[in-house]
Amino acid sequence: MALTAQSSDSGKQADSGATSGTLTGQTTMLRDRFAIYYESPIPDLDTANATAFAAEDRRQRGRPLFALVVTGPLPARVMIMKHLKGVRAAGLMPLMEWGPVDWPPQQAIRLALIYEKPAGRRIVRRMGDVIKAHQDQQFAKTLLRPLVMALGELHNNGVMHRAVRPTNLFYADAAESRIVLGDCATGPVALDQPVACETIESGMCQPEGRGAGNLADDFYALGASAVMLLTGRNPLIDVADDEIVKRKLTQGSYATLVSDQRVPLNMIEVLRGLLADDKEQRWDFEQLDLWFNGRRMSPVQAKPLKRAQRAFVFMNQEFLSPRHLAHEMATHWDKAAPIVLEGKLEIWLRRGLEDNQLADQVAMAIRNAAAGSQHSRGGINDLALANVLIVMDPDAPIRFRGFRAHMDGFGGVLSAAIARGQDTKPFTEVILAEIPKMWLGVRDHFSPEYVQLDGTFRELREFLIDGVNKGSGLERCLYEMNESQQCMSKLFEKDLVLTIRDVLPALDRLGARMDSKTHPLDRHVVAFVAARFPKEIGPQLLALNESDPKRSTLGMLSLLAVLQWRLGPEAVHGLCSWVGGLMGPIINSYQSRERRRWLEREIPRLVRKGSLPELYNFVDDAEERKSDFDEYRRARAEWSAANHQIKALESGQVGADENAERMGEKAAATGSVGIAIVTVAIVLAGYLL
Amino acid sequence: MGSGMALKVGVVLMLAVGLFLFLPTVLVLVVCMLPTGVALVVDRSASRSGWLCVGGLNFAAMAPSLFELWFEDHSLEFATSVISDVFALMLIYGAAGIGWLVYMTTPRIISSVMEMTSSHRIEKLKAQQQRLVEEWGPEVTRDDSGSGEGRGRASAAG
């Protein structure tokens, strides 16, 4: 996915084109086609994580459009957008286009989605609003069926909507005869879903931890929404989320939602089918299609849970089923842990529920926690309770103190916690304590998905253990678990880095204005690259994490060079200039001062070419390194030899006087004797000759 | 013991005969080579070569008179005239004095020359070290053995 922010130069001035219609004002362009009027917000169409603005298709003027610009801190579901764009269904607000745009109000690049604007209003502004009940006989045909078809179509395209709720439904026409599903891509999956519209298991989760879900979850939400449309109000508006889950557990979802409300008789069957708490019993697309085509089936009856002969008393309440008890224990964590560890629960499971297998599993779960844990007493209690809750209710999310998430919802929890600056400790504790392994251990059937999950969580644990290094830690977990997560580096506060291909262009844009003290690869950028880059970059990460500045800088340059080599772009002048200013440690790693001066002269020339691989090859040339090393070694030997000679000469001077005296005396004696011999010879010659 | 004594007696007898036969030569030698004898006695240097230095020049100055005695008139009168010739004696003793002077000054001259040569060499080596430090940095002074002596030397060189 190549995302390139469209220039909004043309849009930053008053747009004459827009004045031809009703839209006027400053615009920014998406893919040179869709103009977003950023001074014309449409608050009615806002979502929790995005702001709505008037928009126009420059190729088909007059077409009613609006833009949702992701201005919130949470990640949008980028991965589903490309699929969503191609989906056309009567019950779905069509996504026309999406992509990054220059966003003048924040002087940043933001993600924008262009939707066809529904002609009608939002059905319900708030979940507590009361509207006119849709009691007409055509409800199923005109309102419900298009929504089912839309969800089915989305599912065929690999998309789960997970935002089916009355506040996200719009009348598609002014006559309010048709309903469409609103946006589901601008925020994390199912984050804004009310617990009333979520299944029991999903309702047990914290909103961020609900996970991707499946079509059955969408159909359940559709059933709950249908009840609210048929009755004209949310019957659970004044009920706390936890109480809703409890009621659903004890009475069943249908009974909880419908309660004493009047719903058309012909809708009871489909509502029971959609709101079935047992996934196996919940109606799927085929059953709904058959029902719409007139085939009537007997209403779904909830399967009775296994109940105990005598109740287990916890928090002054009596519980007959382990699932209800597990939920209550999770709600009152600190009170539950001692009871579980004292063995009362195990006894009740054996004698009250008469389920020895479950009792054995509970005992094993406690033993595992105590045996494998390096934690304090409190830590062992927490771990034991988390394990026991998994055993007692295998379909429930993983619960660990305040942490409650499905296996595929871990990423959402971490993403939201980091985006909001919240504590991430519960997340790390769950993974480090290997609670997901316990969850996988109690599955009653084999699935390749479980094997994959096991591997994933083992990797995540390793990343957390290796948390000090760049490319590991929480940041790596964040990007590994959230495919749609944009890079959350502080460097990219004003930018939008959604894919690995966006990294270098974004750094390049930053490069021109960055000083030579800021490192382009902070923990988030490295973790993002490590999680998204498909090739092996282990050696680069190792080098990057070295304490030696030279090796660390080489690792940084090497990683960036590999990215440019594999993914482009061809030239990154800004980034090259930025990185070029950080080459000090590499230059200084050469011993020769002359070579250093030469590198300093040559680097600007390479920076102007904008090629990181060339820069890397230049500063880490193997032959140059070898020459430098060899010459340095020779220089050291030379210095050492000179040193020894100096020492020898200096120590020689101490005895030089004695030596000179001895030599002088000998020389004088020799000379004197020589003169005597010569004189004798001359005189003798005078007499003899 | 008997043979030793006999040897000594023999030598003394030979010297006595020699003294009698070569009295003029002995007289000249004793008087003229007096500085050499003195040098032999007073020289306390390790090499004990002072008497050689003095003696060489002393003998060289005495040689013309000695050969004249030997080849022209080997008489006591001539020997007496030689040792009473003030100019000849001044020449002979002056030569011995020069010998002593040479003996005293030569070691210092040689010492100065040697010192001059090694200082120049040390300067050259230090300049070479300085060039190496400038090109390779202070690290080049790092001793493989790990002693910090080299670094101190580099600073000194710098």
Tell me the shortest Cα–Cα distance from B9 to chain A, in angstroms. Answer: 33
Final residue in a domain of this structure, among A481, A506, A526: A481
Q: Are A602 and A624 in contact (CB under 8 A)?
A: no
Are A31 and A176 contained in the same domain? no
Are A632 and A597 contained in the same domain? no
- Report yes or no on A175 lying in a domain: yes
Are A283 and A341 contained in the same domain? no
CA distance A582 to A564: 18
Domain count, chain A: 5
Are A428 and A463 contained in the same domain? yes
Residues of chain A above pLDDT 70, percent: 94
Are A74 and A206 contained in the same domain? no
- Does any CB of chain B come closer than 8 Å to the CB of residue A356? no
CA distance A613 to A608: 13
- Report yes or no on A1 lying in a domain: no
Distances from the Cα of A560 to the Cαs of A485, A539, A548, A569, in angstroms?
21, 13, 18, 11
Name the residue facing A663 among B57, B110, B128 (closest C-beta).
B110
ipTM summary value? 0.74
Please give the DSSP secondary-structure letter assigned to residue A140: I
**How high is the mean pLDDT of chain A?**
87
Name the residue facing A672 among B56, B125, B140 (closest C-beta).
B56
Give yes or no for residue A369 having a pLDDT over 70.
yes
Residue type, A548: D
- CB contact under 8 Å between A660 and B114, yes or no, is yes
Q: What SS3 class is residue A76? A: coil
Are A281 and A144 contained in the same domain? yes
Are A512 and A465 contained in the same domain? no
- Provide the strand spans (E) within A2-127: 27-30, 34-41, 50-57, 65-70, 95-103, 108-116
- Whole-number pLDDT of residue B148: 41
Q: Give the phi and the psi of residue A296 in degrees, each rounded to 5.
A: -105, 140
- Report yes or no on A123 lying in a domain: no
- Report yes or no on A304 lying in a domain: no
- CB contact under 8 Å between B53 and A594, yes or no, is no
Residue A383 lies in domain: 312-481
Average pLDDT score over residue span B109-126: 84
Q: Are A464 and A428 in contact (CB under 8 A)?
A: yes
Give yes or no for residue B10 having a pLDDT over 70.
yes
C-alpha of B128 from chain center: 39
State the angle between helix axes of A322-331 and A377-392 in degrees (0 to 180), rounded to the nearest 10. 150
- Does any CB of chain B come closer than 8 Å to the CB of residue A602? no
- Report yes or no on A286 lying in a domain: yes
Whether the bond between A569 and the residue before it is cis, its omega within 30 degrees of 0, is: yes
Tell me the shortest Cα–Cα distance from A684 to chain B, in angstroms. Answer: 7
Tell me the shortest Cα–Cα distance from B10 to chain A, in angstroms. Answer: 31
- Whole-number pLDDT of residue A165: 94
Tell me the shortest Cα–Cα distance from B85 to chain A, in angstroms. Answer: 19
CATH of the domain at A17: 3.30.200.20
Name the residue facing B63 among A643, A672, A683 (closest C-beta).
A683
**Range with the poorest average pLDDT among A23-27, A90-94, A219-223, A541-545:** A23-27
Final residue in a domain of this structure, among A116, A150, A167: A116
Q: What SS3 class is residue A464? A: helix
Task: Compare all CA atoms of chain A with the CA of B53 and give the residue at the minimum distance.
Answer: A669
Final residue in a domain of this structure, among A430, A463, A481: A481
Residues of chain B above pLDDT 90, percent: 16
Q: How far apart are the first and last CA of chain A?
A: 120
Provide Rg for chain A, Cα atoms: 38
Judged by CB atoms within 8 Å, which residues 14-43 of B form the interface with A? none
- pLDDT per residue over A510-553, tens digit each? 887 777 778 899 999 999 999 999 888 999 999 999 988 889 99
Are A329 and A472 contained in the same domain? yes
- Whole-number pLDDT of residue A151: 94
CATH of the domain at A268: 1.10.510.10
CA distance A281 to A274: 9
Provide Rg for chain B, Cα atoms: 30
Please, which pLDDT band fits residue A9 given cuts at 50, 70 and 90? very low
Q: Give the phi and the psi of residue A35 in degrees, each rounded to 5.
A: -95, 130
- Burial state string for A146-170 with b = 16 or more CB within 10 A and e = fewer than 16: bbbbbbbbbbeeebbbbbbbbbbbb
A326 membership: H or E segment, kind and range: helix A322-331
Q: Are A306 and A321 in contact (CB under 8 A)?
A: yes
- pLDDT per residue over B17-56, tens digit each? 777 778 888 888 889 999 999 988 888 777 788 889 999 9
Please, which pLDDT band fits residue A13 given cuts at 50, 70 and 90? very low
- CB contact under 8 Å between B129 and A642, yes or no, is yes
Nearest one of A111, A214, A218, A211 to A482, comparing CA atoms: A211
Please, which pLDDT band fits residue A474 given cuts at 50, 70 and 90? very high
Q: Which residues of B touch A686 (CB under 8 A)?
A: 67
Please, which pLDDT band fits residue A101 given cuts at 50, 70 and 90? very high
Q: What SS3 class is residue A590? A: coil
At residue A453's C-alpha, the angle toward residues A358 and A381, to 5°, is: 45
- CB contact under 8 Å between B60 and A664, yes or no, is no
C-alpha of A260 from chain center: 43
Q: Which residue has the tokens 């001066």?
A: A597
Q: Are A234 and A109 in contact (CB under 8 A)?
A: no
Are A345 and A463 contained in the same domain? yes
- Does any CB of chain A come closer than 8 Å to the CB of residue B126? yes
- Report yes or no on A670 lying in a domain: no
- Does any CB of chain A come closer than 8 Å to the CB of residue B99? yes
Nearest one of A65, A76, A72, A74 to A99, comparing CA atoms: A76
Are A154 and A256 contained in the same domain? yes
- Report yes or no on A79 lying in a domain: yes
Higher pLDDT residue, B87 or A18? B87
Q: Which residue has the tokens 């070691």?
A: B107
Q: Which residues of A touch B141 (CB under 8 A)?
A: 639, 643
Are A410 and A423 contained in the same domain? yes
Q: Which residues of A touch B49 (CB under 8 A)?
A: 665-666, 668-669
Are A321 and A464 contained in the same domain? yes
Nearest one of A72, A71, A54 to A63, comparing CA atoms: A54
CA distance A173 to A119: 5
Give yes or no for residue B154 having a pLDDT over 80.
no
- pLDDT per residue over B138-153, tens digit each? 888 876 544 444 443 4
Q: Are A51 and A71 in contact (CB under 8 A)?
A: yes
Judged by CB atoms within 8 Å, which residues 43-82 of B form the interface with A? 45-47, 49-50, 52-57, 59-61, 63-64, 67, 71
- CB contact under 8 Å between A639 and B132, yes or no, is yes
- Report yes or no on A39 lying in a domain: yes
Domain boundaries of chain B, sorted by first residue? 13-116
Task: Compare all CA atoms of chain A with the CA of B134 and give the residue at the minimum distance.
Answer: A593
Judged by CB atoms within 8 Å, which residues 100-119 of B form the interface with A? 102-103, 105-112, 114-115, 118
